[in-house]
Amino acid sequence: MNLYYEKNRLIYMNIPDKVISSIYQALNLNKEQRNLNSDSILLGAIPEMDSMAVVTIITSLEQEFDFIAEDDELDAEMFETVGSVINYVLRKIREKE
């Protein structure tokens, strides 16, 4: 493994934590209220997950990871679970490389 690969691997390893942190902030939650992981269901399971929260999460992720979310990419399936949001962010980052 070269240093470049290891550096990118470390960056990718931090992405799920940053996405989860953005979700916590957008929903005004903390870990004591709800423990989120990649399997956590968002839509329909968390009362705070409304349309304003979706906009806040997308805006936060766009700023954090420097990408633009296109309207035709955003659907309910993307916000079904924390993992689906993480996968979306990873895909957007890979598109920039």
How many domains would you assign to the chain? 1
pLDDT of residue 42: 94
Q: Assess contact for 86 and 42: CB atoms under 8 A.
A: no
Q: Assess contact for 51 and 44: CB atoms under 8 A.
A: no
Total-model pTM: 0.84
CATH of the domain at 82: 1.10.1200.10
The closest of 29, 27, 8 to 93, measured between CA atoms, is: 8
11-24 pLDDT, tens digit each: 556 889 999 999 99
17-60 pLDDT, tens digit each: 999 999 999 999 888 778 999 999 999 999 989 999 999 999 99
Task: Print the domain residue range for 85.
Answer: 3-96
pLDDT of residue 73: 92
- Average pLDDT rounded to a whole number, residues 74-89: 95
